Structure 1
């Protein structure tokens, strides 16, 4: 076999391997997480016992799926529990944001923060809200 064929085979195998790793990581992230409200008492106890804040932040992220900033806020007692909004209320809020000139990027970010949707799904939600607004 020529060198070009061998190189192509190696590249294809590397891509397959990387895609399988990506899917494996995706499934690991989708594991069941506990709500933040559930871990607050445990975190307070561990803080009182003198546990390292960095270890606690890491623990919170693993248990709840929160981002770094939210986990840090939870450890420091500044975490605000978000009350879920209905789809209709969320759509109305997005439409109001778009009408006020906030822009699609900030509206998409708002949807992601409120729902935990991925970027594509949140953007689709904003696009649908925009279409419904124009009707």
Structure 2
């Protein structure tokens, strides 16, 4: 291949990467955007589904608005999402503290939180970090 073709490919891939970063950006007008909880966004998701909106577009919308991972956003759109309640938050926080004190480590605790709640990685990691305080 010629260097021009390689250079063009690198430029195109770089542009795609930068565009994807812009889409994932959680800032609006220089201020951090407040993420919504799955419970807050569920009525809008249901309404959009009933109006016939494309599921893929809706999953992307859910990911941007809530910060959920791909699987969790898909589950929410398809109605298979496990909602977390305030009562179980306390129990979950206690379980995470026990895991951390027993030496399981934050990675295993974060994985456990994700399995129990259906949250994305960032949300689960923040929960573990707060439980560790």
> How would you bin the TM-score normalised by the shorter chain?
0.5 to 0.7
**How many equivalent pairs are there?**
99
Relative to its length, the structure with more helix (as a share) is 1
**Higher Cα radius of gyration:** 1
Deviation at 1:111, TM superposition (A): 5.4
Tell me, what secondary structure is at the counterpart of 1:116?
helix
Tell me, what secondary structure is at the counterpart of 2:112?
helix
Residues 1:118 and 1:98: Cα distance change in structure 2 (over 3 Å): closer
- Runs of 4+ in structure 1 displaced over 4 angstroms? 25-30, 98-101, 111-115
- Does the 8 A contact of 2:26 with 2:64 survive in 1? no
Tell me which residue corresponds to 1:106: 108
Question: Where in structure 2 are the equivalents of 1:13-52 lying within 5 Å?
Answer: 25=25, 30-52=32-54
- 1:122 pairs with one of 109, 112, 129: 129
2:56 corresponds to 1:54: yes
- Does the 8 A contact of 2:59 with 2:70 survive in 1? yes
1:66-109 CA-to-partner distances (Å, cap 9, x unmatched) read: 221111011100111112424x862x3135436878x3231243
- Alpha-carbon separation, structure 1, partners of 2:92 and 2:81: 23
Q: Runs of 5+ in structure 2 lacking a partner?
A: 1-20
- TM-score when normalising by structure 1: 0.52
1:7-45 CA-to-partner distances (Å, cap 9, x unmatched) read: xxxxxxxxxxxxxx9xxx575694112222122122112
